[in-house]
Amino acid sequence: MANCFKIVVALTFAGSILVSCKSVVQQSENEPRVIKTAFKDKFYIGVAVNRQQAVGKDATGQNIIKQHFNSLSPENDLKWEKIHPKPEVYDFTAADAYVNFGTQNNMFTIGHTLVWHSQTPDWVFEDYKGKPLTREALLTRLEEHINTVVGRYKGKIKGWDVVNEALNEDGTLRDSKWLKIIGEDFIAKAFEFAQKADPEAELYYNDYNLYKAEKRAGAVRIIKSLKGKGIKITAVGEQAHYSLAEPDIATVEKTIIDFAATGVAVNFTELDINVLPDGGATNTADVSNTAQYSEKYNPYVKGLPVNVIDSLASRYGSLFRLFVKYDASIDRITFWGLTDGDSWLNDWPIRGRTNYPLLYNRDFTIKQPVKDAILKSLK
């Protein structure tokens, strides 16, 4: 993304995380009240929106998004199972609302995602008898899908997560149906089809845990392979589903350096910070990962203690100091959800928990200490 497009969100901050901690940090009359002012020309600040927000049923959330963010990602409504649920059947209702919301409010609008092993119906990979498609038939189906979806939003959606989560933790390709039927070049073909459908759109590879050396090396191989074939790839998205302690800042910095060295931008596309115990789940963001509920893994039902709020603010502050240091290599920071109540981390990897990973509290007030830490990252 060219520097002329780096227009950053205006986030007006008021309130705090909990009634019990409103006095923890007070708004200074002399500090900027909006992140746009403080982060001018650095990078986009994005947010993932759900259907209720996109169509306006969550009016409060939609108003906050319109006022305070300048980039949008859809949580689900551009995934294959939502937009193309059956052969020859497309449902653009929710996706159109999302895209219209972004374009009407002059936001850098993202398409998520074209190729993923999850949330893709079984019929995509099968013929009318339920048998696996041939390579040629699946490529034809993939190209038709990309032409239809990307073509519909040509010029409106500015960047696409073309391929999502194609790697195992060791950097090898995931044994998905895309790989089994098409072969290793399914990634290259998807990028080719997307580039042809909208030559002006930015094209991304998106994955979690790219801070891990082996998995990051796999992503670097994908980037170099695409570039070696003359296929467009604009950026890599590190999903950044982090915890209060992991990964450490030096590791995140190494991630930025390694990807920037390949000549692509580095985006942090699904940023949230899990403040809860892991519950024995493996260190991954795979949606299939689950663990058993226990009250000891849900300790903050009544609100976050002040010391945990301080830890969360410190963590965000450290990350944003790093983002500012490498702003020339970073185009976008996207939070994966607007409020804590919207976050997938309430139900993953353990259902029914109360998590606090985002900028906004459940009552739509900002987390004041987090806001202050983010602004101070520029000092």
Give the pLDDT confidence score for residue 334 in this predicted structure: 96
Pick from 177, 156, 176: nearest CA to 167: 176
Rounded CA-CA distance 57/71 in Å is 20
What is the distance, to the nearest Å, from the Cα of residue 32 to the centroid of all Cα atoms in its chain? Answer: 26
Burial 338-351 (b: 16+ CB within 10 A, else e): bbbbbbbbbebbbe
Residues 6+ apart with CB under 8 A from 177: 117, 120, 124, 125, 132
Tokens 């300048």 correspond to what residue?
70
Would you say the C-alpha torsion 206, 9, 375, 303 has a positive or negative sign?
A: negative
Give the pLDDT confidence score for residue 40 in this predicted structure: 74
Each residue's pLDDT tens digit, 115-139:
999 999 999 999 999 999 999 999 9
Strand partners, 333: 45, 268
134 token code pair: 């041939």
Please give the radius of gyration of the chain, using alpha carbons only, rounded to the nearest integer: 20
- SS3 percent helix, strand, coil of the chain, rounded to 5, is 40, 15, 45
Catalytic, out of 75, 202, 270, 295? 270
Give the pLDDT confidence score for residue 100 in this predicted structure: 98
pLDDT at 26 over 50: no
202 a catalytic residue: no
pLDDT at 328 over 90: yes
Q: Tell me the one-letter amino acid at 342.
A: D
The pTM is what? 0.88
Direct distance between the N- and C-terminal alpha carbons of the chain, in angstroms, rounded to an integer:
25
Q: List the alpha helices (DSSP H) in the chain.
A: 35-38, 51-55, 59-68, 80-83, 93-104, 135-152, 177-182, 186-197, 213-228, 249-260, 306-325, 368-376
Burial 286-295 (b: 16+ CB within 10 A, else e): beeeebeeee
Mean pLDDT of 236-240: 98
Burial class of residue 170, CB neighbours in 10 A (0-12, 13-18, 19+): exposed
pLDDT at 55 over 70: yes
Mean pLDDT of 152-169: 98
192 a catalytic residue: no
224 token code pair: 């170099």
pLDDT at 6 over 50: no
Please, are residues 121 and 85 in contact by the beta-carbon 8 Å criterion?
Answer: yes
Rounded CA-CA distance 167/68 in Å is 34
3-class DSSP assignment, residue 196: helix
Give the pLDDT confidence score for residue 290 in this predicted structure: 63
DSSP state of 89: B
Q: Domain tally for the chain? A: 1
pLDDT at 230 over 60: yes
Strand partners, 266: 236
Rounded CA-CA distance 295/306 in Å is 20
Give the pLDDT confidence score for residue 184 in this predicted structure: 98
Catalytic, out of 75, 165, 202, 238? 165
CATH assignment at residue 350: 3.20.20.80
36 token code pair: 């746009």
Residues, the chain, total? 379
Query: CA neighbours within 13 Å on the CB side: how many for 257?
Result: 9
The range of the structural domain enclosing residue 293 comes to 3-376
pLDDT at 23 over 80: no
Number of C-beta neighbours around residue 13 at 10 A: 22
Pick from 5, 161, 169, 142: nearest CA to 84: 142
